[in-house]
Chain A
């Protein structure tokens, strides 16, 4: 079964850091771009960052560039999102998503990140 499982969410104070993880299974992880998408409570979907198959290229939405870092390890079938200098507006459910031909075809169940003092 093709599956993405996120972990690492939680409550963090403004200015703090958090590292999200995503474990992939059931497909050849190294063949796909991967993406993080977030959804603030009661709001729509926002693309956050993506990374190419070998990790050599990474792209970020302007609001997180310089604060978030996306990375992957194909040998471990794993994707990460290091989030630093967190702000209240980063509060959201974060989804790990497989990217196939400029569409997001497989989604994880999401992990909640709450930034609050």
Chain B
């Protein structure tokens, strides 16, 4: 079972928007609403920032959003700030009580 496909890197200038994709298959991302996103700063544990494709946990700013089209989920970070520089991982339910992470995307804020 291959990992979900994410671009290894992404970048954007302060104040701009950036979108990170997460491509799966019709058996996971394309079928279920259970796609989540995690932010990880160096040396820290990951933090949940999006669940069920587009829902934000309490405390996550609304400039962070998620969506899905077909077999691809997307994370958009608007109004980029320096603290958004981190690694981002998607995760999707794959059926049979299993799940899978994407390979991760390193976001650089220019």
Contacts and interface: CB of A to CB of B under 8 A. Distances in A.
A47 B100 contact: yes
Contacts of A37: 101
Given A45-B89, A109-B45, A59 B51 contact: no
Contact of B36 (A50, A61, A103, A109): A103
Interface in B65-99: 89, 91, 93, 96-99
A46 B2 CA distance: 11
Contacts of A57: 97
Q: How large is the interface on B (under 10, 10 to 19, 20 to 34, 35 or more residues)?
A: 20 to 34
Interface residues of A, number: 21
B91 A104 contact: yes
B102 interface: yes
B103 A44 contact: yes
Contact of B97 (A59, A95, A100): A59
14 contacts: A37-B101, A45-B38, A45-B40, A45-B91, A45-B101, A47-B101, A59-B97, A59-B98, A95-B46, A101-B51, A102-B32, A102-B36, A102-B93, A105-B57
